[in-house]
Amino acid sequence: MNDKITEIKAYAEMRNKTNYKHTTEIEYITYLLQLVEPLIKALEFYADEEKYTDGDCGGVYDADKLYSSIALDKGENAREALSII
């Protein structure tokens, strides 16, 4: 995951534990992180070039290995990530 996102998440968790007086700020940060993290995960999945060619049945028919991870996913990761917005 993005280093800046990890840094922001750690900041929000630290402030939440110390009863930071601007709780609304922490609630907004936490909410935005909940929106961003699944989007990053979906983008990382589709950006992985190996996912487009990882379907190899090795000469033996196996429906699960015949198609790449992207083809088997059929956009499910993207729909799941976008459903929270």
Q: How far, CA to CA in Å, does 73 sit from each of 22, 36, 38?
A: 41, 20, 15
Helix segments in the chain, DSSP class H: 3-17, 23-47, 63-66, 69-73, 76-82
* pLDDT: which is higher, 62 or 84: 84
State CA 11 to chain mean position distance.
20
User: Can you give the pTM of this predicted structure?
Assistant: 0.60
Model confidence at 68, pLDDT cuts 50, 70, 90, reads confident
Query: Is 60 a residue whose pLDDT tops 60?
Result: no
Q: How far apart (Å, rounded) are the C-alpha atoms in residues 13 and 84?
A: 21
